[in-house]
Amino acid sequence: MKKSLYGFAIIALILGMASCSSKKESASSIAQQWCDLNGKAFKAAEGAEKDAAQAARKKFEEEMEAKYKDDKAFMDEVGKEVEKCEDASEGR
């Protein structure tokens, strides 16, 4: 009984991990993440908090550029989505 319970738990864990890794991000979800990070960087007080927020935004940008560098059409779509939320993230 215990062996079958452990086996079931392991199979469920593997399936759960596989479903998370195959998740494809949409242009709007990437843009929303960037706008959230941009808002934090824009609204943060000067000093360490602002530097950390800007570093997080830059790291996210670099990760997305590396991940989607071969898909120019997708990156253009992300850029259009960013334009829609950029002003709001900066409080304009």
User: On the CB side of 61, how many CA atoms lie within 13 Å of its CA?
Assistant: 12
| pTM of the shown model | 0.67
C-alpha dist (Å) from residue 8 to 19, 21, 53, 66, 82: 17, 20, 42, 37, 43
Model pLDDT, residue 5? 47
What pLDDT, in 10s, does the model give residues 18-40?
A: 545 445 789 999 999 999 998 88
Model pLDDT, residue 21? 46
Q: Which residues contact 65 (CB under 8 A, 6 or more apart)?
A: 75
* DSSP alpha helix (H) spans, 1-92: 2-21, 27-43, 48-67, 72-89
Comparison of pLDDT for 6 and 69, the residue scoring more: 69
- What is the total residue count of the chain? 92
Model pLDDT, residue 17? 52
